[in-house]
């Protein structure tokens, strides 16, 4: 039996680094020892950055870092350093920025080649093993034979990086103005997907940092367009496969534009921010749909991410031995083996479970035979179709989902990264404390969750001098905290104080704020650095204004200081003014960035709303909006258009000559044509009224269907409210284009149509 000798990573605490402890690569952790070795042996450094739940990080490990030949290349020609980006976000920020400059894109695993002094000169992301071998050989050769070219490239890149990462120049400054929100809205609308919600195409990420801004503009400034963008995106995500309908919580991102097929890892920071957002959407609208998603997300965090000490773990992996996502997906047979037939029939109908599977493999585009539970329409529409009360349907589905969850828990579960990070836990505290106030039925247990996590960080994640530490695992807290740790923990403390009014949380927030200012404030240029001098070996200071998957350090700092300043207005007006002024100066220090690219700084803008929103005069928020349109631009023999009419919505199918679609009553192998409509407006809609089908000769049989044109009117049966409301209708259509001799696969489309209700006279 082969017994491998561990490398130096065996002494680390990070689950990600420990995954690599038995690689044949002679890995070093980030530290002075590795850089000293590189200088003494005159070797370049290979820096690999990843995280425990990263699918392609695991792939590159299996293909390359477990490969003895590639390990020999690395060990002979390089000093290899492995970094967990969640432990060292400062290192990640510098080198991912470098790869973005060199390659135009970046991601994880991040693969960067450095001089012995730490300056990058070449890099990329995931490399297949054959390509990786070529890259290693080429870099090693250039290092030996053309050192001057390498050092020149590193020097040139250093200059660009200092502009991008250090952020210490006067051109960034500006005078803050509410006009930025008009530009922000216009930029958001430019990227908005009116059919499926979210922004851009595939892959599509939850806009976690944007939702607080959009919901606040919608709620406090009565901007229905901003509210609609947020709420429709949140609805689409909650219906899609990116939401875990069985166990709750959101996966990392969707590989498609429809939110159906996710990359299956689950991150604490995503779910904390989304739990807050859905609770806020409920507070804004009173719609129980958003409350339900908030509760199922936060309850997943309590069930699967909470550590015995009260803090929260970082992530769940995407992979299991059976393959990525296997834990979360189902065959139709598995559903029928677990549930009674009538319950299985109901679940499969509502959650789109198909015998052949309901999604294609991302790489091969082949049907998988497995299903991702998801909804095409909210449960209200299904209840209407089934002719049962919504409450009865929800109760049945809750019971079904609970039984499927029990069955799922017998499978190989994804690995959990059980380190606790201060900033991610700060976001969790913020979410639970806010939800405790917004969701009264869950107030006690969510308050307890927030309180216990906040207490754990205060008691267990500070050093002997009272300064915060970044990471806790296996009874040990370590790594000096970053700006985001102080700021996000401070956000959580302030939300907890707002909820309970217990003075200890405010007192601790003041102590945290004062330490944050002392350690990170840039007194010359304004704003805050990501790190303090306790972090060594960085090639330059780092200052982050741009949000990624969570608020930037400076954005979180502005929010924290704004909340703290507001809380101290009466009891300590002098200190209140100091904190508010520092928040304002931080905004001014980067206002040039926000003027050029306002959507890059969601968290800064949300902090601006917190700081001055009550006294701010909203600008004219009317901006040119993209044409949502009724015309369907997809190619094919059938085109769909939707026309609002006084009687309801008219859905029209224009069909090319030589083609037909089936009637709404088709059975067997012929898919019926389906139209389903839901809306967030106070409308009661009836079942579609179809124009009469015609007799069509299809091969040897005569069927009922439509040629040339088909129409269905979805009638408005009742209008509630007083009118004057804006909203959207979501229209789902399914049709099967056929010729006389053969039929194509059924086509499914979802349309979002803006509607306005006029005041009743």
The per-residue pLDDT for range 211-262, each reduced to its tens digit, is: 999 999 999 999 999 999 999 999 999 999 999 999 999 999 999 988 999 9
Answer with the one of 166, 195, 227 that is the final residue of a domain: 166
CATH of the domain at 466: 1.50.10.10
505/615: higher pLDDT: 505
Place 743 in a pLDDT band, splitting at 50, 70 and 90: confident
Q: Do 461 and 572 reside in the same domain of the chain?
A: yes
In a domain, 620, yes or no: no
Tell me, what's the pLDDT at 756?
73
d(CA 508, CA 226): 35
What is the percent of the chain with per-residue pLDDT over 90, rounded to a whole number?
A: 76
Q: Do 138 and 259 reside in the same domain of the chain?
A: no
Q: Check pLDDT > 80 for residue 737.
A: yes
Q: Do 518 and 664 reside in the same domain of the chain?
A: no
In a domain, 445, yes or no: yes
- Of 213-227, 268-282, 286-300, 629-643, give the lowest mean pLDDT range: 629-643
How remote is the C-alpha of 283 from its chain's centroid?
21
CATH of the domain at 734: 2.60.40.1250
Q: Do 200 and 307 reside in the same domain of the chain?
A: yes
Q: Do 186 and 129 reside in the same domain of the chain?
A: no
In a domain, 618, yes or no: no
Strand partners of residue 697: 702
Tell me, what's the pLDDT at 129?
96
In a domain, 228, yes or no: yes
d(CA 254, CA 374): 13
In DSSP notation, 360-385 reads B-TTT--B-S-B----SS-HHHHHHH
Q: Do 540 and 656 reside in the same domain of the chain?
A: no
Peptide bond between residue 674 and the one before it cis (omega within 30 degrees of 0)? no
d(CA 721, CA 570): 41
> What is the enclosing helix (H) or strand (E) of 99?
helix 89-103
CB atoms inside a 10 Å sphere around CB 147: 13
Q: Check pLDDT > 50 for residue 374.
A: yes
Nearest Cα residue to 759 out of 682, 679, 648: 682
Average confidence (pLDDT) over 442-467: 98
d(CA 352, CA 375): 7
- Tallying the residues shown for the chain, one arrives at 761
Place 629 in a pLDDT band, splitting at 50, 70 and 90: very low
- Work out how many domains the chain is built from and give that number: 3
User: pLDDT per residue over 636-692, tens digit each?
Assistant: 899 999 988 878 899 999 999 999 999 998 876 788 899 988 887 788 888 899 999
Helices and strands in the chain: count of H runs, count of E runs: 24, 24
In a domain, 690, yes or no: yes
Q: Do 430 and 491 reside in the same domain of the chain?
A: yes
Q: Is pTM, for the whole model, over 0.75?
A: yes
d(CA 12, CA 472): 12
Place 630 in a pLDDT band, splitting at 50, 70 and 90: very low
Answer with the one of 141, 166, 191 that is the final residue of a domain: 166
In three-state secondary structure terms, 761 is: coil
Q: Do 650 and 598 reside in the same domain of the chain?
A: no
d(CA 216, CA 613): 10
Average confidence (pLDDT) over 79-90: 96
Query: What is the torsion angle, in degrees rounded to the nearest 10, for the CA atoms of residue 687, residue 693, residue 696 and residue 698?
Result: 0
Q: Do 144 and 193 reside in the same domain of the chain?
A: no
Tell me, what's the pLDDT at 426?
99
CATH of the domain at 68: 3.40.30.10
- Kindly list the strands in the beta sheet with 674-679, ordered across the sheet, starting from the edge strand earlier in the chain: 674-679, 725-735, 747-757
User: pLDDT per residue over 94-152, tens digit each?
Assistant: 999 999 999 888 999 999 999 999 999 999 999 999 999 999 999 999 999 999 999 99
CB atoms inside a 10 Å sphere around CB 377: 18
Place 382 in a pLDDT band, splitting at 50, 70 and 90: confident
The Cα angle at residue 31 between residues 29 and 32, in degrees rounded to 5 = 140
Nearest Cα residue to 753 out of 683, 693, 686: 683
Q: Do 239 and 271 reside in the same domain of the chain?
A: yes
Place 570 in a pLDDT band, splitting at 50, 70 and 90: very high
Nearest Cα residue to 668 out of 637, 636, 704: 704
Tell me, what's the pLDDT at 722?
61
Q: Check pLDDT > 60 for residue 2.
A: no
Q: Check pLDDT > 60 for residue 633.
A: no
Q: Do 693 and 587 reside in the same domain of the chain?
A: no
Q: Check pLDDT > 90 for residue 552.
A: yes
> What is the enclosing helix (H) or strand (E) of 654?
strand 648-655
- Of 337-341, 544-548, 717-721, give the lowest mean pLDDT range: 717-721
- Of 311-320, 362-371, 399-408, give the lowest mean pLDDT range: 362-371
Place of tokens 């985001």: 484
Answer with the one of 97, 131, 166 that is the final residue of a domain: 166
What is the percent of the chain with per-residue pLDDT over 70, rounded to a whole number?
A: 96
Task: Tell me the residue range of the domain where 17 lies.
Answer: 8-166
Task: Provide the H-helix boundaries in 439-482.
Answer: 443-460
Angle, helix 443-460 to helix 503-520, in steps of 10 degrees = 40
In DSSP notation, 309-360 reads TS-B--EE-S--TT-TTGGG-B-HHHHHHHS-HHHHHHHHHHTT--TT-SSB
In a domain, 350, yes or no: no
Place 760 in a pLDDT band, splitting at 50, 70 and 90: low
Q: Check pLDDT > 50 for residue 54.
A: yes
Q: Do 601 and 730 reside in the same domain of the chain?
A: no
Listed in order, strand segments (DSSP E) in 51-133 are 79-84, 110-114, 120-124
In a domain, 400, yes or no: no
In a domain, 495, yes or no: yes
């Amino acid at each position: 039996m082969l017994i491998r000798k561990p490398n130096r990573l065996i002494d680390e605490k990070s689950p990600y680094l420990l995954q690599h402890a038995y690689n044949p690569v002679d890995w070093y952790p980030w530290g002075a020892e590795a850089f000293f070795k590189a200088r003494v042996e005159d070797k370049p450094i290979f820096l690999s950055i990843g995280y425990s739940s990263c699918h392609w990080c695991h792939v590159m490990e299996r293909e390359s870092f477990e490969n003895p030949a590639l390990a020999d290349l690395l060990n002979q020609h390089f000093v290899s350093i492995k970094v967990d980006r969640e432990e060292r976000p400062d290192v990640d920020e510098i080198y991912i920025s470098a790869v973005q400059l060199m390659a135009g894109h970046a991601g994880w695993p991040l693969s960067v080649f450095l001089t012995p002094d730490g300056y990058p000169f070449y890099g990329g992301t995931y490399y297949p093993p054959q390509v990786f071998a070529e890259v290693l050989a080429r870099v090693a050769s250039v290092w030996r034979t053309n050192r001057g070219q390498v050092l020149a490239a590193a020097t040139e890149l250093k200059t660009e990086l200092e502009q991008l990462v250090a952020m210490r120049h006067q051109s960034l400054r500006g005078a803050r103005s509410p006009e930025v929100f008009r530009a922000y809205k216009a930029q958001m609308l430019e990227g908005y997907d009116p059919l499926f919600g979210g922004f851009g195409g595939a892959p599509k990420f939850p806009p976690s940092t944007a939702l607080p801004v959009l919901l606040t503009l919608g709620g406090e400034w009565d901007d229905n367009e901003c509210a609609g963008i947020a709420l429709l995106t949140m609805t689409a995500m909650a219906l899609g496969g990116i939401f875990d309908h069985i166990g709750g919580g959101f996966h990392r991102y969707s590989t498609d534009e429809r939110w159906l097929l996710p990359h299956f890892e689950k991150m604490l920071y995503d779910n904390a921010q989304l739990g807050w957002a859905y609770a806020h959407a409920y507070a804004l609208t009173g719609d129980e749909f958003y409350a339900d998603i908030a509760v199922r997300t936060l309850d997943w965090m309590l069930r699967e991410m909470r550590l015995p000490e009260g803090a929260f773990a970082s992530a769940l992996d995407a992979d299991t031995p059976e393959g990525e996502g296997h834990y979360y997906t189902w065959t139709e047979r598995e559903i029928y083996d677990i549930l009674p037939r009538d319950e299985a029939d109901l679940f499969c109908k509502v959650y789109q479970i198909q015998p052949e599977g309901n999604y294609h493999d991302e790489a091969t585009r082949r049907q998988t035979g497995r299903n991702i539970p998801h909804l095409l329409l909210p449960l209200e529409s299904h209840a209407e179709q089934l002719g049962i009360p919504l409450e009865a349907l929800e109760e049945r589905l809750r019971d079904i989902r609970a039984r499927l969850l029990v069955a799922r828990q017998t499978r190989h579960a994804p690995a959990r990264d059980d380190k606790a990070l201060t900033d991610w836990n700060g976001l969790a505290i913020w979410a639970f404390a806010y939800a405790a106030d917004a969701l009264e039925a869950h107030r006690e247990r969510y308050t307890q969750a927030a309180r216990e996590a906040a207490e754990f960080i205060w008691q267990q994640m500070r050093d002997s001098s009272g300064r915060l530490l970044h990471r806790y695992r296996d009874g040990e807290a370590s790594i000096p905290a970053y700006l985001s740790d102080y700021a996000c923990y401070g956000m959580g403390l302030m939300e907890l104080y707002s909820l309970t009014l217990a003075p200890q949380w405010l007192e601790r927030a003041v102590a945290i704020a004062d330490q944050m200012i002392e350690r990170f404030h840039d007194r010359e240029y304004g704003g805050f650095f990501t790190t303090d001098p306790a972090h060594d070996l960085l090639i330059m200071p780092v200052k982050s204004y741009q949000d990624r998957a969570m608020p930037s350090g400076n954005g979180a700092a502005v929010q924290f200081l704004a909340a703290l300043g507001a809380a101290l207005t009466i009891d300590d007006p002098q200190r209140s003014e100091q904190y508010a002024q520092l928040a304002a100066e931080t905004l001014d220090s980067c206002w040039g960035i926000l003027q050029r690219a306002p959507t890059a700084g969601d968290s800064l803008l949300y902090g601006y709303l917190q700081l001055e929103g009550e006294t701010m005069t909203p600008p004219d928020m009317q901006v040119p909006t993209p044409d949502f349109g009724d015309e369907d631009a997809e190619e094919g023999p059938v085109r769909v258009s939707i026309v609002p009419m006084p009687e309801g919505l008219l859905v029209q199918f224009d069909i090319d000559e030589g083609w037909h679609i089936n009637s709404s009553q088709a059975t067997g192998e012929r898919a019926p044509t389906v139209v389903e409509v839901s809306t967030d407006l106070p409308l009661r809609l009836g079942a579609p009224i179809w124009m009469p089908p015609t007799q069509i000769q299809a091969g040897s049989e005569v069927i009922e269907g439509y040629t040339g044109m088909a129409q269905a009117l979805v009638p408005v049966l009742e209008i509630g409210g007083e009118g004057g409301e804006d909203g959207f209708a979501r229209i789902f259509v399914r049709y099967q284009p056929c010729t006389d001799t053969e039929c194509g696969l059924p086509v499914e489309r979802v349309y979002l149509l803006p509607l306005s209700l006029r005041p009743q006279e």
